[in-house]
Every structure is written in C-alpha cells, then in structure tokens.
Amino acid sequence: MRVSAKADYAVRAAAELAAVEDGPVKGERLAEAQDIPLQFLEHILLELKHAGIVRARRGAKGGYWLARPPEEITIADVIRAVEGPIANVQSAPPESVHYRGKAEHLVEVWIAVRANLRAVLEHTTIADVTSGKLPKAVKRLAASPDAWEHR
Amino acid sequence: MRVSAKADYAVRAAAELAAVEDGPVKGERLAEAQDIPLQFLEHILLELKHAGIVRARRGAKGGYWLARPPEEITIADVIRAVEGPIANVQSAPPESVHYRGKAEHLVEVWIAVRANLRAVLEHTTIADVTSGKLPKAVKRLAASPDAWEHR
DNA sequence: CACGCTCCTGACGAAAGCAGTCGAGAAGGT
DNA sequence: ACCTTCTCGACTGCTTTCGTCAGGAGCGTG
C-alpha cells in the first residue's frame, strides 16, 4: 500500500518529459528538474525504455523522450514498468490466493481494492498530470476535504 | 501497493474470531483454522490487543475474543493496527509530499488513490467478511469480470 | 498452593527489497 | 579523434518482512 521512491520518480520523470515537445531531454536535466539522484534516475529511465514507454539516443544532442503521446500513457503503465503488478497480497496476485474457513470472502475484498486502485491509475494519464486536468472522477476524490486527512 | 502477510493474517484471524460467539478462542485453534504459523500469529494478536481490537485472557480456558462487535470493526482498523498508515508515498503521507515542476498535480492523484483504498477498507467490516455479505459498492467492484484479470 | 495451561514479550536471524553508487563500455555527434 | 550521453552489471548499506526461540507472567483447577 505504498508508492516506492522508484515509482514516484518514474511518474515525475515521465510528467517532465511530457512537457517538452521538441527533441530529446538529457537525464541530467530531468534529475535537476525533479530533484532525483541522477544515476538512480538513469536506471529507472532504462526500465521505462525496456517497457517501451520512453525512447533514448546517446551522444551529444542525445537524451530521452516519450515513445507515445502522453495522453496514451497511464500512470498504471509507468508504475507497472518499474514495479511490476500494482496490487499483490503476499507477493501473489489476489485472484490466485485461496482462503479457507471464515476468511473465504476476503478474496473479493482484495479484488475490490485492486479494482479501485486501477480505477484511478489506469484512467489518469501522464498528460493529465502535466496539464493538471485530471479525470473528473479523480478530481472528485481529491476534492473531498477528508481525503486529505491523515488517520 | 501490496498486502503484507501480517495484514492478511490479522484480518483472517479477526474473521475467524468473529465467527465464534461464545468464550475465548485459543491462538492454536486460530492458527490451525487459517493455517498461520502460531508464534507469528501470537505477535499479531498482541498488536491487535494493544490497538484495542482484541481482548485476551491467559491460563486454562483462556484465549482471544473481539473487543467490539465485528460489525463495528473495519478492515482498515485491523490493517492500521498491524501496519500503520494505509497509503504512503516514500514512507510519508501523501498530503505532506511537495512536488515541483510539472509533477505538481501528482499529489492529487495519490490522494485520490488513498481515498479509493479507504472507500473499500473503511466500509467493509469483519462481520461482512465472515458472513460474505459485503457492502454493495464492494460487491459491485468484485463482480466485474475484468477486476479478476491479471495485467 | 502447586501445577498446567495460555498468553506476553523481547531477542534473534535469515532473506529479500529498497535506494542508491560506481565504473566501464557502447553509441552518437562534430 | 574526441567529447557527450545513454547502457548495464556489480556492489553496498540499510530497512523491512517473516518468521523462530526462550523465558516469564497471569489465570484456573485439584
């Protein structure tokens, strides 16, 4: 139930990339813009590249850019690229766990949790983040004052 | 974004406790019913006790029981008792992180994620799990076939 | 009151994951 | 040639996870 530094960095880097329309952006510039350790960031960008989210060129004038338009890249895509599956129970996907006794219906709860996570992460795109124009459902969730309370 | 073994065990033990109306239940019996390592389970039950969710008595005829009616204990209560806050980004609560540059609106996304997690976990009670009568909203989420798909 | 039962608690430990750092190399531009 | 920038594996130190172990403290019964 936590967002790792890696996932956080990955989304932030992607958001920064989405804001640049022309040409490749150096890793160093991304690192500075988002205050991320450069060498760690390059590992992350490499994973994003392997997942086909980012492309890169080396050498002078090299750098990174998004492989697809940012409206077609969801936050879920980015997180899955660097972290794998979004919701696990005990390192296994929820639909594969088997409960006995009085806990049988717990599996439905975990499935519902995952569905609600996906509802936000698969419908918010990188373009939404950079522009601040989040999907209506997400805006509504974030607008409620007690969503901001700690507990 | 994952449910730890500890949290899973805690909820399952609570569900098992909710099904017993009379008298204390031994840790050993809970461990067997849910196939949880006994000594690990006792640590967990101790934490649940400290959180005021469970009560216990030692000695012959001793055991554990729920401190409140299971309809008044939510899954969120149990998870918080053993794991602390439910949703963090980089070990800090989402409302306290500060983003710069093009990632500014990301904080609203994390808040929305947490709100949607809470929507399930704070409205499903231990009694709901043991009876299988989950809240309508949760049932609806779990009913969709593609909520069960892996991705 | 002694004894057995059961919970209570802290200490310990192996393994994995997290958050980076380092250094060498490969590809690209000029 | 030469500098720039990405590529990639290895390594490190720290924390978390998932337990086990041993001893003690409280409770009930004969």
For residue range B57-87, list pLDDT tens digits in order: 999 999 999 999 999 999 999 999 999 999 8
The residue behind tokens 């449910």 is: B3
- Does residue A116 belong to the interface with chain B, where contact is any CB pair within 8 Å? yes
- Closest CA in chain A for residue B132: A105
> What's the rounded Cα separation, in Å, for the pair A24 and A22?
7
Strand A63-66 and strand A54-57: the pairing is antiparallel
Nucleotides in chain C with any atom closer than 7 Å to protein CB = 4-11, 17-23, 25-30
For residue range A15-70, list pLDDT tens digits in order: 999 999 888 999 999 999 999 999 999 999 999 999 999 999 999 999 999 999 99
> What's the rounded Cα separation, in Å, for the pair A113 and A87?
8
pLDDT, chain A, mean: 97
Nucleotides in chain D with any atom closer than 7 Å to protein CB = 3-10, 16-22, 24-29
Q: What is the pLDDT of residue B76?
A: 98
Length of chain A: 151
Q: Assess contact for B66 and B51: CB atoms under 8 A.
A: no
Q: What is the pLDDT of residue B30?
A: 98
Is the pLDDT assigned to residue A115 strictly greater than 90?
A: yes
pLDDT in tens, chain B (151 residues): 799 999 999 999 999 999 998 889 999 999 999 999 999 999 999 999 999 999 999 999 999 999 999 999 999 999 999 999 998 999 999 999 999 999 999 999 999 999 999 999 999 999 999 999 999 999 999 999 999 999 9
Query: What distances in angstroms separate CA B70 from CA A41, A98, B127, B135, one per listed residue?
Result: 46, 23, 5, 14
CA distance B34 to chain A (A): 7
